[in-house]
Amino acid sequence: MKLVLLVCSCFLFSTSKITEKSILKPAFKNHSFSKISNFELNNVESDAIIGIWKHETSESKIQIYKSDNQYFGKVLSAKDAIVNGKLSLDIKNPEPALRKRTVIGLVILSNFSYSGKNVWENGEIYDSRAGKTYSCRLTLQTNQTLIVRGYIKAPLFGKNEVFKRVE
């Protein structure tokens, strides 16, 4: 669900000589609506990662979406998603009950929160090839480039993966 703010501009009609320029005069031309603007800007910024992204080298595609004010990513396609005509399964998952899930549709990015300045933190990334989950941070480097950093304990001890936005 997206929150949309509508800002009403109030105008005063002039009782003096009516000209094309004086028909409508802004009532609050010296007042600032910066709080509303900042809120709207932050909401737009936080949703900037929503969309489809392709891994720079493996050609895997993920879809990042928002649910309950957190961000998630699921696999749309992967190079090894189909083996011998069958969808690959999450066979290395540490939980035996989850090993029958297909890799396509698998949520691999979970529980990210926007922390400001094009960074989403406190999330996790699941590596289905190893069956391991890591802490993760997402950084929108440009509107077209997303840096995904998986790490153990601290971002200093991690690895970056680069994703490009799919138009």
Q: How many other CB atoms are there within 10 angstroms of residue 50's CB atom?
A: 12
Q: Is 20 exposed, middle or buried (CB count within 10 Å of its CB: 0-12, 13-18, 19+)?
A: exposed
- State both tokens at 123: 């999330």
Query: Are residues 53 and 113 both part of a single domain?
Result: yes
The pLDDT tens digits for 20-56 are 443 334 433 444 433 433 434 455 689 999 999 999 9
Query: Are residues 56 and 137 both part of a single domain?
Result: yes
In a domain, 115, yes or no: yes
The pLDDT tens digits for 72-113 are 999 999 988 888 889 999 999 999 999 999 999 999 999 999
Query: Are residues 55 and 88 both part of a single domain?
Result: yes
Can you tell me the distance from the alpha carbon of 149 to that of 133, in angstroms, rounded to the nearest whole number?
Answer: 12
Q: Which residues of 104-137 are buried (b: 16+ CB within 10 A; e: fewer)?
A: eebbbbbbbebeeebebbebebbebeeeeebbbb
Query: Are residues 33 and 74 both part of a single domain?
Result: no
List the domain range (segments joined by +) for residue 35: 11-45
pLDDT grade for 123, boundaries at 50, 70 and 90: very high
In a domain, 1, yes or no: no
For residue 12, is pLDDT > 50? Answer: no
